[in-house]
Structure 1
Amino acid sequence: MSSREPSAFSFLVLGALQKRPMYEGTVPAAVVADRRRRNRAARMSRRVNRRARR
C-alpha cells in the first residue's frame, strides 16, 4: 500500500461509518459468529411460521 494523506472523501466515509451499528472490533469473532448463526435460525423460523399461518 502506498502511504498518502487521507482525502476529504475518505474522512466523510469514515464519519458515516462511525454512526453505523457495527461491532467495530469490540466483540470477539466467536461471539459475532454465534449471533449471526442465531439470527439466521430466527429468520428461518419466522419464515416457516409465516408460511404456516397461510
Structure 2
Amino acid sequence: MARVRVSTTVDGDLLARARELNVGPTDASLLEAALKALRGDVASFLDAAGKL
C-alpha cells in the first residue's frame, strides 16, 4: 500500500476523545480507521440511494 503524508489542523478536544478509543498506536492509524469508516458509511448511503 502506498503511503501519503497528511498534514492538517484538527479540533484538539475531538482528537483527544478519538485517541481515547485506542484504535491504534499512532494518530496515523486513527486517521486510517476514521477514513475507512467514513468510506463505508458513504458507500452504504450511496448504495441505498441507488447511486453506487
TM-score normalised by the chain length of structure 2: 0.50
* Structure number with higher helix proportion: 1
TM-score normalised by the chain length of structure 1: 0.48
